[in-house]
A and B are shown apart, each in its own frame.
Chain A
Amino acid sequence: MTAQTSKASAAIIGPGNIGTDLMFKLIRRSDIIEPRYMVGVDPTSDGLARAKRLGLETTADGVDWLLAQDELPDIVFEATSAKAHEANAARYAEAGILAVDLTPAAVGPYLCPPVNLSFNLDAPNVNLITCGGQATVPMVHAVSSVVPVPYAEIVASVSSRSAGPGTRANIDEFTETTASAVEAVGGAQRGKAIIILNPVEPPLMMRNTVFCAIPPEAGEPGELQDRLLESIHAMERAVQEYVPGYHLRAEPQFEPAREAWRGQARVFVPIEVKGRGDYLPDYAGNLDIITAAAARVGDLMVAHRLGVETTWKSSAELGDLADPMTGDRQEAGV
């Protein structure tokens, strides 16, 4: 094991696909967060059983049980529903537990690691927007940091198999939360978000398209367009640090200004997210990107609190990993 002595203990609330994938990511990628509790409400849950096999303390008695423990976790990851997090957030805060929220509840500020983590390192509660938000907000920001973006629109296509009951029961939350983060974090004056579920077999990789309205001069080849391209490619690399399967599917496409676009030009940025396969299959890039962002945010915030360097292991450092299902941890790069 590593010589790291200072560690934070974590509880994952919600032993579903997201919670389970997050558990694997924390085990594999962070040496300063130790997943200690897995909290559910269904004693027959596979996720609870799996967490127990990996050595976590588990319960089907919910957050009440967790908060009654003598040793409270330092950080909780909420992978339940917006409603549940709205109810739990104040209790975590009262107990002094840092909350990383993977639901669309947005009690705390929206967080996208390569864009605004540094401004929010001391927040007691942060929100991971949505999977579509994690995939697209960085690119909106990459564009809006070079030119004004009066309007940005994102289309997220995910395989039906990777869209869980929570997303399905409240799909409006996805579109509204994502659109609002495209504005608040992406930097567009107005944002719009669209999600499409595609059932085709074999399942499609997660695809995202970002459209930004840009000034007419940026729609024509030239220095401004070159700077936009540079910014977009730099952002691709920044996201790849924690989501290795994140890449541009093709070069950004610029379209000259049109009257129907209120005189603005347009840039089209096609993104594909191949899942890391920590627990979920490759096509579930939509789940991978939000669990990766959560683990990354948790790692950096904990490092900040403990006053230590982050120990995050990028994929390049991890190299070829052993099958996570065996629980076999690689020590490479530490």
Chain B
Amino acid sequence: MGDMKIRPEDAPVVGREVTETEVLENLSSAGGERDLRITDSTLRDGSHAMSHQFTEEQVRGVVAALDRAGVQVIEVSHGDGLGGSSFNYGFSLVDEFDLIAAAVDEATQANIAILMLPGLATVKHLKRAHAVGASVARIATHCTEADVSIQHFGEARALGMETVGFLMLSHSTTPDVLARNARIMVDAGAQCVYVVDSAGALVLSDAQERIQAVIDEIGGDGAQVGFHGHQNLSMGIANSVLAYQAGAKQIDGALCALGAGAGNSPTEVLAATFERMGIRTGVDLGEVLSAAEEVVRPFIPRLPWMDRSSITQGYAGVYSSFLLHAERAAERYGVPAHEILQKVGEHGYVGGQEDMIIDIALQLAQEQELGDLAAVGVR
């Protein structure tokens, strides 16, 4: 390693003595001084990559490790949010309310968040999640349909929960429309609104312009703005940094990128990158690296990766959780998964329309069959 001598400039700068109050404030468990808050979604978005087969033991292990690392908000739900366990999205191995309760039990400082999509989950699901100890309600709609969430924000606030709005597939509309929808959520009771890049389709300035437009619209009301990235075009971390620079205060990640499509912005890379930039997240880098490497990585059946299908999702603007469903339909009907995903993008299907994947696979299979017949001269 060459010269290992310690030079004077490498010595830590020792300034004035830190007071006890400052130490306490800066302890992750006390909230501390932070420039932004990282929300970890391993146990929600990661549910897609796990085909919704999380065990209680895995959930407890991940929550304990994230809690130790100082992550303040940990999201636990079926990948499609509360009530997602279904034929259309895949059945959960363990009831999500049992997993939420286990997470609440395991956390000492972290708050447990849930995700819900109106149209799939109802206020009843929300109340049940609250009853087992979830304290942050993240309520998601397609980015142009925020008005379906009004009743749910009202209920979440009435329950005393912290509220976060999630505008999914944010790439598919303009910054203006996105800002208008963020306004609807804030007026309904959202304390923060996320620009959610569900397809991993936002490329740098696309993300920043959207964050900026939403901040311009709701920042004046004291509402925060967040960013949820995917790695389909490898932009998760870069977009998160740009989002922070535009004024976002909440950033999502997942350990080992465990999430839909090519995965989410890895929480451990977010922590390292922000620390390197001198931006305080309150997350202990060593602990979060060990959470990723020693707790999560060993149980992941297949690491999320940028391959032909997931890159197609980013390129064509396809909801990331369609990936494994497209792969299954591809296998069953003998058509390529990336072609299915390309068609999904062309049709403009939105989050939740997993059933359309079978429809497209059937059409492609039929076209293929007609093509084969034509090739042998049948008309």
Contacts and interface: CB of A to CB of B under 8 A. Distances in A.
Interface string B82-124: 0100111011000000000000000000000000001110111
Among B87, B120, B147, B150, the most chain A Cβ lie within 10 Å of the Cβ of: B87
Contact of B145 (A165, A197, A261): A197
Given A213-B87, A261-B91, 19 more contacts: A153-B86, A155-B88, A155-B355, A168-B150, A169-B147, A192-B83, A192-B86, A194-B88, A196-B350, A196-B351, A197-B142, A197-B145, A198-B142, A198-B349, A204-B348, A209-B88, A250-B362, A250-B363, A270-B355
- State which size class the interface on B falls in: 20 to 34
Interface in B70-89: 83, 86-88
A181 to B, nearest CB: 15
Contacts of B124: 172, 176
Interface string A241-264: 000000001100100000011000
Contact of A170 (B90, B151, B351, B352): B151
A200 B356 contact: no
A198 B353 contact: yes
B145 A194 contact: no
A194 B142 CA distance: 14
Contacts of A266: 87
A268 B91 CA distance: 16
A169 B150 contact: yes
B161 interface: no
A81 interface: no
A172 B144 contact: no
Interface string B122-138: 11100000000000000
Given A196-B350, A199-B144, A172 B88 contact: no
A171 B116 CA distance: 13
A296 interface: no
B358 interface: yes
Interface string A174-193: 11100000000000000010
Contacts of B355: 155, 157, 207, 209, 268, 270
A213 B150 CA distance: 33
A196 B150 contact: no
Contacts of B151: 169-172
A198 B172 CA distance: 12
Contacts, number: 93
Contacts of A106: none
A171 B359 contact: no
Contacts of B88: 153, 155, 194, 209, 211
Interface of A: 153, 155, 157, 160, 165, 168-172, 174-176, 192, 194-200, 204, 207, 209, 211, 213, 249-250, 253, 260-261, 266, 268, 270
Nearest to A192: B86
B2 to A, nearest CB: 56
A153 B85 CA distance: 11
Given A175-B119, A199-B142, A211-B88, A250 B359 contact: yes
Contacts of A157: 353, 355-356
28 contacts: A153-B87, A155-B353, A157-B355, A157-B356, A165-B147, A168-B147, A168-B150, A171-B148, A172-B124, A172-B151, A175-B122, A176-B124, A192-B86, A196-B350, A196-B351, A197-B119, A197-B145, A198-B348, A199-B142, A199-B144, A200-B349, A207-B355, A209-B88, A253-B358, A260-B90, A261-B91, A268-B358, A270-B358
Nearest to A153: B87
B308 interface: no
Nearest to A201: B348
A325 B263 CA distance: 52
A215 to B, nearest CB: 16
Contacts of B86: 153, 192, 194
Pick the 9 closest A-B CB pairs, nearest first: A200-B348, A209-B355, A211-B87, A172-B122, A196-B352, A195-B119, A199-B144, A171-B148, A168-B147
Contact of B347 (A168, A197, A200, A209): A200
Contacts of B87: 153, 211, 213, 261, 266
